[in-house]
Amino acid sequence: MDMKERLQELAENARKRIEESEGLDKLNDVRVAYLGKKGELTAILKGMKDVAPEERPKVGQLVNETRAKIEELLEISRKEFEEKVREEKMKAEVIDVTLPAKKAKIGHRHPNTIALEEVERIFIGMGYEVVEGPEVEYADYNFTKLNIPENHPARDEQDTFFINDSILLRSQTSPVQAREMEKGKLPIRMIAPGRVFRSDEVDATHSPSFHQVEGLVVDKGITFADLKGTLEQFAKEFFGPDTKVKFRPHHFPFTEPSAEVDVTCFKCGGKGCRMCKGSGWIEILGCGMVHPHVLEMCGIDPEVYSGFAFGIGLERVALLKYEIDDMRLLYENDKRFLSQF
């Protein structure tokens, strides 16, 4: 058998094996058997040394033509197998577009966030600016500059988280007010929302970490009437237009005179119910005229300027507004609770 016939027979055998292949793995076996390093066609090429020199170019051409023919057949079969695999995969992964889609769950804003945004909206509408300060604060700003003396009970370690003798976790956002007054940019109309820390046991109405919004106004000619009008407007905006406000005398070290503010119960309208414990009134905040000594310590002349300050417990007004009876619900991250807002 001459070389031409031998190569034709090899190509025919390769074609039959390619047609009989049942998958890409079998097809690869055929490629290795004929075109691999130890394949039949490679063996013929290695035997070229036995071919007469004048015949080598012709034989070499025949070998290359046979290789090209086998590679073409392999490539055609490979594409057919890949197409078949792709079609089977697509059949298995078919999507029924008529099926109802999964409903995307949309997150909800936290009651504290809703209440804070509402408080900020009301006071920004009155011309106030929102100012923030550090949560880790100097005792000087948290106590001394607010007219709280060294022997005051608020400085006790059982009430305040001290880091060392002079640094603590702020127990109120009032230090932000002292920092603003020290800047000397008058007049001041600001609210300072933020997280505060006190050494309280966790129960339905207390938490070691909660939020306050404290307000401050300093200008010439500010009187208690300005404070009263401001807080009455806030209460009507936040709790409803029929809300009435009552001021009760109180004592705070950094304000004089001082007062606590009650609003008519928005559930019973002042008639008396479980929420207001039958009194018809609910306490919401503390306030007063800025103590002259506080103004002096911050470099402001109390003979020229006066001001008022107030502090709102954000969780407290959120609990009242949404009729939540346990403060712990605000921090448990229970989606069943949060999805109601």
| Domain at 212, CATH number | 3.30.930.10
Assess whether 29 and 173 both reside in one domain.
no
User: Distance between CA atoms of 319 and 327, rounded to whole angstroms?
Assistant: 7
Residue 106 domain-assigned?
Answer: no
* CB-based contact 188:181 (threshold 8 Å): yes
Which pLDDT value is given to residue 51? 63
Which of these, 292, 300, 267, 304, lies nearest to 282 by C-alpha position? Answer: 267
Which pLDDT value is given to residue 289? 95
- Taking 70 as the pLDDT cut, the residues of the chain under it are 1-4, 7, 41, 45-56, 59, 154-158, 269, 275
> Mind giving me the DSSP string for 284-341?
EEEEEEEPHHHHHHTT--TTT-EEEEEEEEHHHHHHHHTT---GGGGTS--HHHHTT-
Residue 316 domain-assigned?
Answer: yes
User: Distance between CA atoms of 303 and 181, rounded to whole angstroms?
Assistant: 15
Sign (positive or negative) of CA dihedral 38, 44, 45, 49: positive
Residue 330 domain-assigned?
Answer: yes
Residue 273 domain-assigned?
Answer: yes
Residue 328 domain-assigned?
Answer: yes
C-alpha pair distances (Å), 146 with each of 55, 220, 297: 110, 20, 9
Assess whether 27 and 172 both reside in one domain.
no
- Write down which residue in 44, 60, 92 finishes a domain: 92
Structural domain span for residue 65:
3-92
Assess whether 70 and 117 both reside in one domain.
no
Which pLDDT value is given to residue 170? 92
Assess whether 191 and 306 both reside in one domain.
yes
Assess whether 80 and 195 both reside in one domain.
no
Q: How many domains does one find in the chain?
A: 2
Which pLDDT value is given to residue 158? 61
Assess whether 191 and 151 both reside in one domain.
yes
Assess whether 124 and 86 both reside in one domain.
no
Residue 105 domain-assigned?
Answer: no
Which pLDDT value is given to residue 125? 94
Assess whether 177 and 221 both reside in one domain.
yes
Residue 98 domain-assigned?
Answer: no
Which pLDDT value is given to residue 118? 93
> How much is the pTM?
0.65
Other Cβ atoms closer than 10 A to 3:
16
Which pLDDT value is given to residue 311? 93
- Write down which residue in 92, 120, 147 finishes a domain: 92
Assess whether 41 and 115 both reside in one domain.
no
Which pLDDT value is given to residue 325? 81
Assess whether 202 and 81 both reside in one domain.
no
Report the DSSP beta bridge partners of residue 190.
129, 216
